[in-house]
Structure 1
Amino acid sequence: MTNMNLYSRGDKLFVIVNMVLIALFTISTLYPFIYIASLSLSTGFEARAGNVVLTPVGFTIEAYKQVLSEPLFWSSYANTFIYTIGGTLMSLAFIIPGAYALSRPQLYGRRFWNLMVAFTMWFNAGLIPFFLNMRDLGLLDSYFGIIIGFAVNGFNIILLRNFFEGIPQSFEEAARMDGANELQVLWKVFVPLTVSSIN
Structure 2
Amino acid sequence: MVTESLRTAPRRMSDRIFRPAKQSGIKDSRSYTVFRIVNGVLIVALCFLTLYPFLNVVAQAFSSEAYINSGQVNLIPKGFNVTTFGYVMGDPMFWRNYGNTVLYTVVATAIAMVLTTSFAYALSKKHLKGRAFFIGIAVFTMFFNGGLIPNYILINELGFKNTLWAIVIPNAISVFNLLVMKSFFEGFPEDLEEAAAIDGLTTYGILWKIVLPLSKAVIATMVLFYAVSFWNSWFAAFLYMDKAELYPVTVYLRNLLAAASSTESLGAGAASGDATQVAANVKAVTMLLTVLPIVCLYPFIQKYFVSGVMLGSVKQ
User: Same-fold call, TM > 0.5?
Assistant: yes
5 Å matches for 1:49-198? 49-198=70-219
Number of residue pairs the alignment of both structures matches: 194
CA distance in 2, matches of 1:61, 1:176: 61
- Deviation at residue 130 of structure 1 after TM alignment: 1.5
From 27, 50, 59, the counterpart of 1:29 = 50
Could you tell me which amino acid in structure 1 is paired with residue 52 of structure 2? Y
Mean CA deviation greater in 106-115 or 175-184: 106-115
Mean CA deviation greater in 113-122 or 176-185: 113-122
For structure 2, list consecutive stretches of 5 or more residues without a partner in the other structure.
1-26, 222-316
Identify the structure with bigger relative contact order (alpha carbons < 8 Å, sequence gap 6+).
2
- State the match for 1:45 in structure 2: 66
Could you tell me which amino acid in structure 1 is paired with residue 61 of structure 2? S
CA distance in 2, matches of 1:15, 1:113: 47
Mark the CA change 1:173 to 1:17 in structure 2 (over 3 Å): closer, same or farther. closer
After superposition, give the CA deviation of every residue in 1:114-152 in whole Å (9 maximum; x if it has no partner). Answer: 333333234322222222111110112221221112102
CA distance in 2, matches of 1:48, 1:11: 48
Give TM-score, length-normalised by structure 2. 0.54
CA distance in 1, matches of 2:89, 2:75: 24
Mark the CA change 1:185 to 1:47 in structure 2 (over 3 Å): closer, same or farther. same
Mean CA deviation greater in 68-77 or 9-18: 9-18
- Deviation at residue 185 of structure 1 after TM alignment: 0.9
Structure whose alpha-carbon radius of gyration is higher: 1
Could you tell me which amino acid in structure 2 is paired with residue 65 of structure 1? G
After superposition, give the CA deviation of every residue in 1:64-95 in whole Å (9 maximum; x if it has no partner). Answer: 21121123432332233223221111111212
Could you tell me which amino acid in structure 2 is paired with residue 172 of structure 1? E
Could you tell me which amino acid in structure 1 is paired with residue 124 of structure 2? S
| TM-align CA RMSD | 2.6
- Deviation at residue 99 of structure 1 after TM alignment: 2.1
CA distance in 2, matches of 1:132, 1:19: 54
- Deviation at residue 7 of structure 1 after TM alignment: 5.7
- Deviation at residue 173 of structure 1 after TM alignment: 1.2
Give TM-score, length-normalised by structure 1. 0.80
- Deviation at residue 16 of structure 1 after TM alignment: 4.3
